Structure 1
Amino acid sequence: MTQAEAQLISLLLQEHFGEIVSRVGTFLIRTGSQPLRVIAKETDTPLDQVKKALCVLIQHNLVIYQMHKRGFVEYVAQCESCLRMLRSPRYIYTAKTLYGDTGELIVEELLLNGKMTLTAVVKKVADRLTEAMEDGKSMEYSEVSATFTQLADTHFVQRCPVVEEKDGTEGRRPPIPSLVTNEKEMFSVPRVLLVGRGKRRRSSDEDEGAGQSKRPKKDLDTSQDDGIYWQINTERFHQHFRDQAIISAVSNKMDQTSSEIVRTMLRMSEVTTSSNAAHTQPLSSNEIFRSFPQGYNISKQVLDQYLTLLADDPLEFVGRSGDSGGGMFVINLHKAVATLATANLESIVQERFGSRCARIFRLLLRKRHLEQKQVEDFAMIPAKEAKDMLYKMLSVNLISLQEIPKTPDHAPSRTFYLYTVKPLPTARMLLHRCYKTVANLIVRRQSETKENKRLLEKSQRIEAIIASMQATGAEEAQLQEIEEMITAPERQQLESLKRNVNKLDASEIQVDDTIFILESYINSTKTRV
């Protein structure tokens, strides 16, 4: 855990849960597993507040607890889960893209609450959708449940691990979570009787009138899914992000039809392929042709030609694994992620040092080891400029220098000095800088908001007054008079603040895209080792 990661996690916890939870979570991140009393003492926080903070962190899968061999419980922070809070808006947007507003609200509720039962999610989402509907319509519980089942079938949501008591006689000790869960049961939705529809909030006057003619309504039967809690499967979302990056890369390199072929192959194996697998399940040409979207009028012969071109492409995103069934093909996931990470490294070098440095960087990636004279010749750059560029990149650890002595005395005149690029250490260094960049962006956004706090509060109060007056049917002149309480300079300042915050938010999302690619590359390298 680097200092930049710890700072970013502290800022994310503070932004999502407040000061006390951030203090407890940051302490666990920096010190490792700790018992309850030590956490309270070292953070100088009352014991009951520490307990509440730990409950919040455990509820959101940011902390786990385990039994020490001496008999007391220790709490351990989950660093990766904490960092994934940065990606929450992307999870919600993906669910909205794939499953509409209902899927968006399901994922949003699970992210807000950490863990929820099926009936609780269905009721909350149905009520929210009913509030947004017009003409007095209501959202059926069964429709929300059907979308939830689709999310579970595609593994975007999963059951939480079963909690088991290690020793029933020791009532004071909390239950220890069991990590052993049947994979099929993790995504199986229980059969729950879902009769009813979402309810709207009523005003006090409506409640009085409704109370006189109140009829018994059948609500959700919550007894059938007691003890079964659901959470977001972040690994499945990350698999989807990786697949989309691969599809986009193929589309940019070749054409739309090639990317649609790759999309079809990834969709056919998205549930059967592990997130850490090196390649997808082998698929025959006939299977791909049968699963191809109907909108593309493409013949089997043309599909085979495209598959051959993809398999022979230097990127090696698609590989052959056999000749049966018209040819067996796979997507080389680790190779694709490594290529995407390398492209990000090249882009960073080009943005920071210019196109000539990027040319040298690509040359070293391709040739592995080169002397300075060879770099000058291959890159076709004058000796003085090539030397300056190499030393610039060497000073920031983008490239490294390897000495190969001819004699044991390491005399400079009898030593080869070879420049090389080590992608994995370079990716780790740039990932560390990306964490630091996101932390700086969050601090800047908080600073911008804090400087204009009073103006924002004034704007919110006026908006609330206008909303209440519109609900009561106020005249246009009255509304305009309330709006004029914000002067022209204040309105201009609010617009400037909104523009700056939007830029900072967009920058966070863009940096997170780079973080995701670099993290995927580093994790795939660990898997191969």
Structure 2
Amino acid sequence: MPCGRREVDLCTMILEDHFGPTVARVGQMCLREKLTLGGVIVAMQRVKGGEEKIPPKKVRRALSVLEQHNLLTIGLDSAYRATYETNPDAVQMMMTFPRACLTAKKLYGSAAEAICEELASKGRLSCSEAIRRVRERLELPAAELKQKFCWLAESQFLVRCPPIESKCRGTPVYAAVWEKFAMPDEIAEMPDTTEEEAAKQAACSMEEDIKPDINLLKASRKRKAPIAEVKKEETKKKADPDASVLWQINISRFRRYVRDEIVLEQVCGRMRSNDETGNSEKSAQNVEMALRALLKVAELKSPNPDSNQTPPITLMDVVRAAKEAEMTITKQDLDWAFALIVDDSRGIVRKAGDSGGGLFVLDFDKALLLAVDSHVDSLIREQIDSKAVRIRRLIRARGYLEEETIDKTVMMSAKQTRDLLYSMLEENYVCVKPIGRTNDFAPARTIGLYYVDQPQTVRTLIESTCMMLRNIIVRRLQLEKDSKHLLERQLKMVNIMNGIDASQNIDEEEKRQQKAEVEDMYMPADVRRDLEIFQKNLSLLHTSEIEIEKVLFTFRAYLKSVTTLRFQPPQ
């Protein structure tokens, strides 16, 4: 898949952040071109700029890591040899994993979040293996974890990996049709108690059975300890019945959820800013609940989840969805909220009829367009001037305009208008089209018409956003490397304090005294101040990554919607 240099640099930094420099170098080479295994091995032997050679064993391991995390596309070349290519979209989707885990936690609780975290860290797992790993962390019953897994599959937040039908010269051929969200018929049998709880129960029963006879004590220990070990070894050796059914995170489903959040931000944010009545908080809540109910119905009724707009939805369907979701809103409030939304949503929600209490259509393309416009206006206001925003809005609304017409309309001097236009032209915020008064296109008889090419502007901004995101990741990694000694000191201090808390031979007063001494030893005032500065800067960088990734998603979703609309067949 072709991608630009900025995108390649960003994907390389993401791979290095998650898997280390070896996998990053192999992934970068496969990002640039399709290569066979021999081609990748030979490319890793060519060193430059102080790089080290990567042996063939590590190259194979790096390719296995990329394939395990669904980042590799395997194909055949003209000589029927297996070729490897890194998927840049899948690599950039890895930055969405924290947002996806947070969404799962909001909807289904911490157990669902832990399941998504395991799948994100391992790439793909079977249902039994994912439940087993989560149980080791949270010590929850298997039935509850299986229920959470079922909910995630039913809501399409998890998707089954396509099964392999055959292999052609070492290249897997995946099935074209398979059950993407069906749970396996059987999973591994797991007791309701975890291994630690079972060990505690065994220890308690052992203490109850203790007698003064030492031989009996030894016999009981010899009798009970091997049973637990044998059971543990049997569960490890026994293959799970669903070992061949692998699951992965359905990032496209989470991205649709982020798209819905963008719609809510565009509508509800404008409602809050324009509402001058005394009941602004109540009206904003009613508008948000009405939109969420509308999005819920659209999710169920829309045949294509990536469609540009929803089919007409009746008010009665929205009322029914709000009642099923247990929203505290009446039909009269919904009717009033939709009247307000249609009047003030700038075309995001429009009324298409009066049957069923009213027919409403939600336009996702309009919401993405308004979100992109707000980002572009903010950038122009920060880089150039607020007057440049006014000029660009005029050109976008009126189309092709001459420089003199722009001067008269915005009521600014010719020099100031020319400077702002040239500044926006350099940043690709506006474009110019030369029009010749005669056929020879002589400079004296040629005029320039200014216009706005929004898709071209967004493509330029995607390149700069990728560069910005890469720089933030580099800065964060360097900050973590420079402050590694602070984290090590903090970890040692926490471990010692935990040991003091677990000690039963000293009283509470002595524990507090010892903990204060340890804290003074490992965390003096200057070290604590440096640690607080590091944590603050690290939190700021993490927040910047999340926000910029969301902006990048908005830009890419807009370009995708424009391309889909442009090549859509006529009705």
TM-score by length of 1: 0.90
Counterpart position of 1:5: 7
Counterpart position of 1:407: 438
Whether the 8 Å contact between 2:262 and 2:367 is mirrored in structure 1 is no
SS in 2 for 1:97: helix
Do structure 1's residue 176 and structure 2's residue 213 form an aligned pair?
no
Number of corresponding residues: 512
Task: For 1:297-376, list aligned pairs within 5 A.
Answer: 297-300=329-332, 303-313=334-344, 315-376=346-407
CA, structure 1 residues 299+324, in 2 after alignment: closer, same or farther (shift >3 Å)? Answer: closer
Report the Cα distance in structure 1 between the residues aligned to 2:289 and 2:128, rounded to whole angstroms: 37
SS in 1 for 2:485: helix
Choose from 182, 199, 217 the match for 1:188: 182
Report the Cα distance in structure 1 between the residues aligned to 2:175 and 2:429, rounded to whole angstroms: 40
Report the Cα distance in structure 2 between the residues aligned to 1:211 and 1:160, rounded to whole angstroms: 45
- Residue 15 of structure 1 deviates from its aligned partner by 1.1
SS in 2 for 1:14: helix
SS in 2 for 1:197: coil
SS in 1 for 2:191: coil
CA, structure 1 residues 177+341, in 2 after alignment: closer, same or farther (shift >3 Å)? Answer: farther
Counterpart amino acid of residue 341 in structure 2: L
CA, structure 1 residues 488+206, in 2 after alignment: closer, same or farther (shift >3 Å)? Answer: farther
Whether the 8 Å contact between 1:258 and 1:306 is mirrored in structure 2 is yes
| Alignment RMSD (CA, Å) | 2.6
Do structure 1's residue 385 and structure 2's residue 416 form an aligned pair?
yes
- Residue 368 of structure 1 deviates from its aligned partner by 2.1
- Residue 205 of structure 1 deviates from its aligned partner by 11
Report the Cα distance in structure 2 between the residues aligned to 1:98 and 1:247, rounded to whole angstroms: 17
Report the Cα distance in structure 2 between the residues aligned to 1:140 and 1:407, rounded to whole angstroms: 82
Whether the 8 Å contact between 2:293 and 2:321 is mirrored in structure 1 is yes
Whether the 8 Å contact between 1:310 and 1:316 is mirrored in structure 2 is no
Do structure 1's residue 86 and structure 2's residue 104 form an aligned pair?
no
Report the Cα distance in structure 1 between the residues aligned to 2:537 and 2:25, rounded to whole angstroms: 28
Report the Cα distance in structure 1 between the residues aligned to 2:4 and 2:331, rounded to whole angstroms: 53
Counterpart position of 1:213: 224
Counterpart amino acid of residue 389 in structure 1: L
Choose from 169, 184, 197 the match for 2:192: 197
- Residue 390 of structure 1 deviates from its aligned partner by 1.3
Q: Deviations over 1:407-452 (max 9, x none)?
A: 1122344333222111101011111111100111111112222223
CA, structure 1 residues 477+37, in 2 after alignment: closer, same or farther (shift >3 Å)? Answer: same
SS in 2 for 1:330: strand
CA, structure 1 residues 105+409, in 2 after alignment: closer, same or farther (shift >3 Å)? Answer: same
Do structure 1's residue 448 and structure 2's residue 488 form an aligned pair?
no
Counterpart amino acid of residue 183 in structure 2: V
Counterpart amino acid of residue 192 in structure 2: R
Range that drifts further, 276-285 or 498-507: 276-285
Counterpart amino acid of residue 527 in structure 1: T
Q: Deviations over 1:291-333 (max 9, x none)?
A: 2245444335x54454345345562112344554333322111
Range that drifts further, 368-377 or 35-44: 368-377
Counterpart amino acid of residue 189 in structure 1: M
Report the Cα distance in structure 2 between the residues aligned to 1:342 and 1:163, rounded to whole angstroms: 44
Range that drifts further, 367-376 or 492-501: 367-376
Counterpart position of 1:123: 132
Counterpart position of 2:314: 284
Whether the 8 Å contact between 1:166 and 1:176 is mirrored in structure 2 is yes
Q: Deviations over 1:206-249 (max 9, x none)?
A: 99878743667797996432311000001000000000110121
Counterpart position of 1:230: 247
- Residue 485 of structure 1 deviates from its aligned partner by 2.0
Whether the 8 Å contact between 2:436 and 2:446 is mirrored in structure 1 is yes
CA, structure 1 residues 297+489, in 2 after alignment: closer, same or farther (shift >3 Å)? Answer: closer
- Residue 37 of structure 1 deviates from its aligned partner by 1.1
SS in 2 for 1:500: helix
Counterpart position of 1:107: 116
Whether the 8 Å contact between 1:364 and 1:370 is mirrored in structure 2 is yes
Choose from 510, 518, 528 the match for 2:555: 518
Counterpart amino acid of residue 26 in structure 1: Q
Counterpart position of 1:435: 466
Whether the 8 Å contact between 1:248 and 1:259 is mirrored in structure 2 is no
CA, structure 1 residues 378+305, in 2 after alignment: closer, same or farther (shift >3 Å)? Answer: farther
% same residue = 29
Whether the 8 Å contact between 1:321 and 1:329 is mirrored in structure 2 is yes
Q: Deviations over 1:315-364 (max 9, x none)?
A: 21123445543333221112221221122111211222232122222222
Report the Cα distance in structure 1 between the residues aligned to 2:310 and 2:223, rounded to whole angstroms: 62
- Residue 148 of structure 1 deviates from its aligned partner by 0.9
Report the Cα distance in structure 1 between the residues aligned to 2:375 and 2:248, rounded to whole angstroms: 32
CA, structure 1 residues 348+166, in 2 after alignment: closer, same or farther (shift >3 Å)? Answer: same
TM-score by length of 2: 0.83
Task: For 1:113-152, list aligned pairs within 5 A.
Answer: 113-130=122-139, 139-152=140-153
Counterpart position of 2:28: 26
Segments of 5+ residues of structure 1 without an aligned counterpart are 131-138, 168-172
CA, structure 1 residues 14+201, in 2 after alignment: closer, same or farther (shift >3 Å)? Answer: farther
Segments of 5+ residues of structure 2 without an aligned counterpart are 46-53, 207-220, 272-283
Report the Cα distance in structure 2 between the residues aligned to 1:211 and 1:501, rounded to whole angstroms: 51
Choose from 530, 535, 548 the match for 1:493: 530
Counterpart position of 1:161: 162
Counterpart amino acid of residue 288 in structure 2: S
Range that drifts further, 457-466 or 143-152: 457-466
Report the Cα distance in structure 2 between the residues aligned to 1:430 and 1:313, rounded to whole angstroms: 29
Report the Cα distance in structure 1 between the residues aligned to 2:478 and 2:201, rounded to whole angstroms: 44
Report the Cα distance in structure 1 between the residues aligned to 2:329 and 2:307, rounded to whole angstroms: 32
Report the Cα distance in structure 2 between the residues aligned to 1:453 and 1:192, rounded to whole angstroms: 46
Counterpart amino acid of residue 285 in structure 2: Q
Report the Cα distance in structure 2 between the residues aligned to 1:289 and 1:282, rounded to whole angstroms: 15
SS in 1 for 2:75: strand
Whether the 8 Å contact between 2:159 and 2:247 is mirrored in structure 1 is yes
Do structure 1's residue 417 and structure 2's residue 448 form an aligned pair?
yes
